[in-house]
Amino acid sequence: MQIDWLTVAAQIVNFLVLIWLLQRFLYRPITNAMAQRETRIEERLSDAKSQRKDAEEEAEKLRKKREELEEAEQDMLEEARTEANELKQQLEQDVRDEVEQKRKNWQETLEDQRADFMQNMQRKAGHKVLDIAGRLMAEFTSGAIDDQVADGFVAKLTDLDPETCKKMTRAANNADSPALVESATKLDTAARQKITRTLHEEFETDIEVEYWEDEEMLLGVRLSIGEQTVEWSAARHLKRLNRELDTLLESAGPAKRKEATD
Amino acid sequence: MEISPDAWVLYEWQGLRLNATIVFTWGVMALLVLVSWIITARLSEGETVSRWQVMLEVVVTTIRDQIDEVGAADPARYLPFIGTLFLFIATANLLTILPGYQPPTGSLSTTAALAICVLIAVPLFSITRRGLGGYLKSYLQPSPFMLPFNLISELSRTIALAVRLYGNVMSGTVIVGILISVAPFFFPILMQLLGLLTGLIQAYIFAVLAMVYIASASRAQRKTDPAADTETPRTSREGD
């Protein structure tokens, strides 16, 4: 064991110098660099943290907004759907009503047309029958029948009910125009005379009598004095028959048509 | 065969002898400072760090962590002193792999110088923390009768510190020297490797013990601080 105290002193100095040198070149720069790096990293971390916080807040805000929007959208959709449904139902109802109405109308029209057609058919058939009857009468009774017609008319005149007779008498007395006797065919003179005579006798007048032909009458005679008319003719019978036919057809019409007219 | 590099005088001028211990110490110092300087000249504070800087950072951080583990309150305070002790002793010991190199730590003068530094540093650190009165009072703990024992302990541990390092390093050198003369082919290499290991361990032990002494000197103060009652040193190593 040998200690050189000079060397010891020198080594102490050396050591202190080394401490100073290392402090100058090693510890301080290294610790400073590390501290600064740490500070920077911390700053960056806190920056990142605050940015992340901001971003999260922003995200939260956006999320809320989106939820609200979605809710509103849902509401609006629901509302629109309800409205659309209502509208659809209403439109459907309208269309259904319209179709129903049209169908009803169409049915009514159809019924009407059918009824009209039926009635026309019936009417035409009836009329045709009557027409044929009239024509047959006209064809088979031309000429020879005049006397009978005149007789028939005379008989009818004489058999007039007193009321009508009175009316006719009054009309004949007040008439300023001649009495008019119309017949389907031209009456021969004898018949005319017979009728004129009967007329004068029955109505106690000497009114002038004119004789006209009216083919539409088919068969028979019509007497018009002023406004009073006495008629005995096949046409009148036919007319009455036709009227009765019509009445019959009317009453026999379809029930629906009755309702519609109600 | 020279036991101590002190005896290896390289230059003498008017009674002042420049021995190998001092010269190799300068070498070690120059190496440490140069390496530090070269690396720290291009320090980076950004994210990209050179691997040399990483190495230095690891070294510095490790030393700081060790100081912290011993239980010192403020590692940055002790870092220059403890770190330099460790780095100097470790470098001085590791360089033994260079042929012709004599570790300055193999000289009792060097280890005594380092131990004296520790001897002075312990009260210095303690006084700066607690004041002169507080430090002196610690010699009277736990009772004034313990004063001589405290003084002896202070001195003996300094001597032990010096002798321990000296003995270990010197013995390594001596063993290698003896082995070279006995079996010059294989064993000296093994012993050299072992020497590297023990050299590093000795550097660690020296630095940690110095730290323990410093910390224990300031621990007495912390005991008076009720808030720090639970804080006890985590390591307390003694001896080799």
Handedness of CA B154, B91, A3, B113 (dihedral sign): negative
What integer pLDDT is reported at residue B240 of this predicted model? 46
Residue B222 has pLDDT above 60, yes or no: no
Residue B194, pLDDT > 50, answer yes
pLDDT digits (tens, 9 = 90+) for B53-73: 889 889 999 999 999 888 777
Residue B78 domain-assigned? Answer: yes
A107 belongs to a structural domain: no
CB nearest B76 (choices: A3, A6, A31): A31
Q: What pLDDT score does A164 carry?
A: 82
Task: Dump pLDDT digits (tens) for B161-190.
Answer: 888 888 887 787 777 778 778 877 777 788
Residue partners of B17: CB distance under 8 A and separation at least 6: A6, B9, B11
Do B108 and A1 make contact, defined as CB atoms within 8 angstroms? yes
Q: B42: part of which helix (H) or strand (E)? A: none
Nearest to A23 by CA among B125, B200, B87, B93: B87
Confidence check: pLDDT of B224 > 70: no
Between the alpha carbon of residue A8 and those of residues B43, B118, B162, the distances in Å are 35, 13, 12
Please state the domain count of chain B.
1
The DSSP letter of residue A188 is P
| B81: closest chain A residue by CA | A19
Chain B interface disruption, residue of A5, A13, A15, A44, most B CBs within 10 A? A15
pLDDT, mean of residues B12-28: 85
Q: Per residue in B105-133, pLDDT tens?
A: 888 888 889 988 988 988 888 888 888 88
Residue-number span of the structural domain to which A168 is assigned: 125-256
Q: Over pLDDT 70: what percentage of chain B?
A: 89
Q: Which of A5, A9, A31 sits opposite B60 (nearest CB)?
A: A31
> Among all residues of chain B, which has the CA nearest to that of A10?
B22
Find out whether B48 and B63 touch, Cβ atoms under 8 Å.
Answer: no
Q: Lowest mean pLDDT: which of A103-107, B72-76, B78-82?
A: B72-76
Q: Do B56 and A17 touch (CB under 8 A)?
A: no
Q: Give the orientation angle of helix A189-203 with respect to helix A162-174, to 10 degrees.
A: 100
pLDDT reported for residue A141: 60
CA dihedral A249, A252, A254, A259 (to 10 degrees): 100
Q: Any idea what the CATH number is for the domain that residue A157 is in?
A: 3.30.2320
Of all residues in chain B, the percent with pLDDT exceeding 90 is 17
- Min Cα–Cα distance to chain B from A43, Å: 13
Q: What confidence score (pLDDT) does residue B221 get?
A: 47
**pLDDT score at A146:** 67
Q: Following DSSP, what letter does each residue of A111-176 receive, concatenated?
A: HHHHHHHHHHHHHHHHHHHHHHHHHHHHHHHTTHHHHHHHHHHHHHHHT--HHHHHHHHHHHHH-S
Residue B228 has pLDDT above 50, yes or no: no
Strand partners, A211: A181
CA separation for the pair B9, A41 (Å, rounded): 53
For residue B229, name the pLDDT band (cuts at 50, 70, 90): very low
Inter-chain CB proximity A8 and B81 less than 8 Å: no
On whether residue A135 sits in a domain, the answer given is yes
Within-domain flag for B233: no
The count of CB pairs under 8 A between chains A and B is 117
> Does residue A154 belong to any structural domain of this protein?
yes
Quote the pLDDT of residue A127: 66
Q: Provide the pairing of β-strand B16-19 with B9-13.
A: antiparallel
For residue B26, the model assigns a pLDDT of 92
Looking at chain A, which residue has its C-alpha nearest residue B57?
A30
A4 contacts in B (CB within 8 Å)? Answer: 6, 19, 21, 109
Query: What domain range includes position B28?
Result: 5-228
Q: Residue A18 is nearest to which of B29, B56, B112, comparing CB atoms?
A: B29
What integer pLDDT is reported at residue B92 of this predicted model? 92
Number of domains in chain A: 1
In a domain, A2, yes or no: no
Q: Say what the ipTM of the complex is.
A: 0.83
Q: Which of B152, B155, B164 is nearest to B204 (CA)?
A: B164
Q: How confident is the model at residue B15 (pLDDT cuts 50, 70, 90)?
A: confident
Q: What's the confidence (pLDDT) of residue B235?
A: 44
Beta carbons of B113 and A40 less than 8 Å apart: no
Of A253 and B27, more confident: B27
Intervals of chain A under pLDDT 50: 255-260
Q: Give a yes or no: residue A230 inside a domain.
A: yes
CB contact at 8 A, A235 and A83:
no
A29·B40 Cβ contact <8 A: yes
The string of DSSP codes covering B170-205 is HHHHHHHHHHHHH--SSHHHHHHHHHHHHHHHHHHH
In a domain, residue B237? The reply is no
| B236 located within any domain | no
